Structure 1
Amino acid sequence: MDIAFENRKLEKRLCRLVGQAIDDYRMIEDGDRVMVCLSGGKDSYGLLDILMRLQRRAPARFELIAVNLDQRQPGFPADVLPNYLRTLGVPFHIETQDTYSIVKKVIPEGKTMCSLCSRLRRGILYRVARELGATKIALGHHRDDILQTLLLNMFFGAKLKGMPPKLVSDNGEHVVIRPLAYVPEKDLIRWAEVRQFPIIPCNLCGSQQHLQRKQVGDLLREWDKRYPGRIDNMLRALQNVVPSHLMDRGLYDFAAVRATDRPEAEGDLAFDDEPLAMPDAHDATGEAPMAARRIVALTPQDA
């Protein structure tokens, strides 16, 4: 196997999928100043790396600024990210706030710190985005994160709710985007190895990964291994919602349903098995999960 050839294919696929997501949801527009939240993990490194590649090729002109929040966790290697970002030549800002001590003081020993830590981190990043004049805040959540969130909300929150690719922040001030929305985690793992990103461990605070999220992640990985194309179809399902065939009375007026005495395109085939579309042949390989969609301006040419 030609490793260099496979690496080039991976780069093109990542750029294509990120460019597609950006175009589909109008995540980045001409003149945007995009704040890329960098944690030191593979996903945020991959996000910045691909956005920099698209920035050089895209017709839309936009700025990037990488931002890391140093929460003063014991053992955090504070020099790693600044040194790496200087080699890239990308503008960056390191925000230092001792949220670690606050969380340790408030949360009893042995309890998870993630929820409070996340709220504190979010508020700080919103302030930094405002101070830097950022028009968009880019996060490194990928396809698998989105599907894990969907299943977690279904299983434990009784909500049909995922992780949108673009939304307004909870304080109403910012637009948050997830350009990796179409990207499989396995591709980001491979890309991190190819690029040799200086990964910073995510367990410095002593917290463990949420068991429920880990279990759901393992489930998705097993499905992807045993049934190629299933994960891609799950993502497609989030883009093809049929409210009349769910049960949310707030989304569809079931009380107003009446016989129409004419054929209905969305009518329920109540006594038939629902026909299932077979996945595209390319989906199983990950080469073209969005093959039926239009080619986007942000996507580099394969040639």
Structure 2
Amino acid sequence: MNAATLPQILPDPTPRDPRRAGREHAKLAKRLRRQVGQAIADYGMIEAGDKVMVCLSGGKDSYTLLDVLLQLQKKAPVEFQLVAVNLDQKQPGFPEHVLPEYLKSIGVDFHIIEQDTYSVVTRVVPEGKTMCSLCSRLRRGALYSYAEAHGFTKIALGHHRDDMAATFFMNLFHHAKLSGMPPKLLSDDGKHVVIRPLAYVRESDIVEYAEARAFPIIPCNLCGSQENLQRKQVGLMLKQWEKDHPGRVEQIARALADVRPSQLADPKLFDFLSLGHRDGAAQADAHAWLSGEAPGTSDDSDA
């Protein structure tokens, strides 16, 4: 078959009905508000009087987070404050004007933190190695310091349902532990409460919503272009699972909220020693089992 006989793929001549598109967007926006509101209620993410720092990166997730929170704020049962905060990492070519112009246009309080973490990361991390770990620590430190200095009670991040599923498998495959990215957590120093209001939201819905809202997306060329990222590989795995078995990621997300310690193997979370133990029966420890000693005895033959 030569080029002349190849089937030609022509653009769809039928224009999309703008009224139908508007209805679909309204339904999507309503679904996102419901999911975010449910997550906030389920995990007690926002309380009366909270000053919430919404971390805005310029990506689809954080734009959607801010947009939906602003909608919910108007009808929320409690009053709370929202402030958008972006960390300008001094990455070459970063369009510094985009976020301020957008945030001014929608009338949102905001602050831009300027800290040259880019130079630190590129100087410390060898060429060809992934930069995410160090970049993430530096970014987190800058945001936490700003939150503490300005009295924020909550720090809102734009991680969604698919991020949480991917983190679970990242920890499983690369760190040999069952842990993930919780919807709400206390920072290691106990000073900050981090919330993820998009915990119930699918990434595909965020993609569609961001396109409909025409957010001025700023791509991350520092780490986003690194194709060997472990997280990217896990993401591809989840996408393939979802393609082969629609609803698979939703099942994984539901499982993360339905943990059965007695059905796993962590003796710190479930008292396996007491399970089925008979009163009065002595229990031997690992040393006794391996050495062949009876419980409560010791080798005193040399005494």
- TM-score interval, smaller chain: 0.7 to 0.9
Secondary structure of the structure 2 residue equivalent to 1:217: helix
Mapping 1:1-303, distance limit 5 Å = 2-204=20-222, 208-258=226-276
CA distance in 1, matches of 2:31, 2:224: 35
The gaps in structure 2 that reach 5 residues or longer are: 1-16, 279-303
**Which AA in structure 2 matches 1:119?**
R
Aligned residue pair count: 260
Cα distance per residue 1:157-179 (max 9 Å; x no partner): 11101100000112221100000
**Which AA in structure 2 matches 1:158?**
A
CA distance in 1, matches of 2:115, 2:272: 51
**Which AA in structure 2 matches 1:97?**
Q
Q: Which has the larger radius of gyration?
A: 2
CA distance in 1, matches of 2:34, 2:177: 31
Pairwise CA RMSD of aligned residues?
1.6
Between stretches 230-239 and 137-146, larger displacement belongs to: 230-239
Between stretches 24-33 and 126-135, larger displacement belongs to: 126-135
Secondary structure of the structure 2 residue equivalent to 1:94: strand
**Which AA in structure 2 matches 1:162?**
G
**Relative to structure 1, is the Cα distance of residues 104 and 183 closer, same or farther in structure 2, using a 3 angstrom cutoff?**
same
Secondary structure of the structure 1 residue equivalent to 2:233: helix
**Relative to structure 1, is the Cα distance of residues 177 and 209 closer, same or farther in structure 2, using a 3 angstrom cutoff?**
farther
Between stretches 146-155 and 99-108, larger displacement belongs to: 99-108
Relative contact order higher in (CA < 8 Å, ≥ 6 apart):
1
**Which AA in structure 1 matches 2:140?**
R
**Relative to structure 1, is the Cα distance of residues 145 and 126 closer, same or farther in structure 2, using a 3 angstrom cutoff?**
same
Secondary structure of the structure 1 residue equivalent to 2:273: helix
**Relative to structure 1, is the Cα distance of residues 178 and 206 closer, same or farther in structure 2, using a 3 angstrom cutoff?**
closer
TM-score, length-scaled by structure 1: 0.82
* 1:136 to partner: Cα distance: 0.1
Verify the 8 A CA contact 1:114 1:207 in the aligned structure 2.
no
Verify the 8 A CA contact 2:185 2:194 in the aligned structure 1.
yes
Alignment-derived partner of residue 295 in structure 2:
none
Cα distance per residue 1:258-287 (max 9 Å; x no partner): 179xxxxxxxxxxxxxxxxxxxxxxxxxxx
Verify the 8 A CA contact 2:88 2:114 in the aligned structure 1.
yes
**Relative to structure 1, is the Cα distance of residues 210 and 86 closer, same or farther in structure 2, using a 3 angstrom cutoff?**
farther
CA distance in 2, matches of 1:237, 1:205: 30
Secondary structure of the structure 1 residue equivalent to 2:155: strand
